[in-house]
Amino acid sequence: MSCILFVLIFVCMNNSAFLNSTQWETEELVENEVRTEKMHNLIVWNDDVNTFDWVIESLVDICGHSETQAEQCAMIIHFKGKYGVKKGTFDELRPQAEALIEREIQATIDY
């Protein structure tokens, strides 16, 4: 979803005139498009099939996690049943979710 934001820029004639009076000149009307993208979560689900090592290795390879971050995510997934391992736009997260699924790790994208 996008909307148009009109910004009116005022420029002072010069600094000394600004101090002595309130003379302003309209310089230009600028049209900007503002986009707001909804952030999503890449959710990895616990299962009884994949080992901790496999999940950790996958999070490092696919999501760019550090070894420590991937270990912490794997522990949370194990004890909580699921965990949002990464935030981003849907378009950013989709290839990562698909890559995890190809490794037979259950992953979904949520918002």
Q: Which domains does the chain have, with CATH numbers?
A: 2-35 (no CATH), 40-110 (3.30.1390.10)
Lowest mean pLDDT among 25-34, 64-73, 93-102: 25-34
> Would you place residue 3 in the very low, low, confident or very high pLDDT band (cuts 50, 70, 90)?
very low
* pLDDT at residue 104 is higher than 90: yes
Here the tokens at position 102 are 């190809």
The reported pTM is 0.67
Here the tokens at position 22 are 């309130």
72, amino acid identity? Q
